[in-house]
Amino acid sequence: MSDHATERKIINATPQQCFDVITDFESYPEWAEDVKSVSVLEIDESGLGGDVRFRAAAMGRSTTYTLRYYYGSNPLRIAWRQIEGDITKKIEGEYEFIPLDNGTKTEVAYHLAADLAILIPGFVKRRAESRIVRAALEALSARIDSVATA
């Protein structure tokens, strides 16, 4: 059974600005601390990353996994699920961008569910998932701030 983690953060940017940063996969190593490299393997019909391979630091080692991304008809939601991985059996997640203050700010909700191929105690896994989700939102916010002021 998967554990789930959800965090929310208000970011001083439009939903479209958040969407643009999230879908710029090749830039992740510049701002997502544990992501070491990213390769977009397949582009979907709208020109966005469909299948994306990541190499990241995880639990003191390197891991590689490929995610398949799904997009709605607007930039308010991006979902993904793992199609290949070495130390993970399952990764599913979603970013939801909720406009605030007439669209000048965005509440970003990040949902993550993961199953590892290795056994670790549940409390360790839950703590790690919460840390990952919290750190991801902090890094996303910092990246959006740096892009907006550049």
Question: How confident is the prediction along the chain (150 residues), in pLDDT tens digits per residue?
Answer: 456 789 999 999 999 999 999 999 999 999 998 899 999 999 998 899 999 999 998 767 788 999 999 998 666 899 999 999 988 888 999 999 999 999 899 999 999 988 776 666 565 555 666 667 778 889 889 998 887 665
CB 19 within 8 A of CB 106: no
Q: Which residues pair with 92 in a beta bridge?
A: 81, 113
Give the integer Cα–Cα distance in Å for 13 and 79.
20
pTM of the model: 0.85
Domain at 22, CATH number: 3.30.530.20
Range of the domain at 128: 3-149
The tally of domains found in the chain comes to 1
Indicate the length of the chain as a whole number: 150
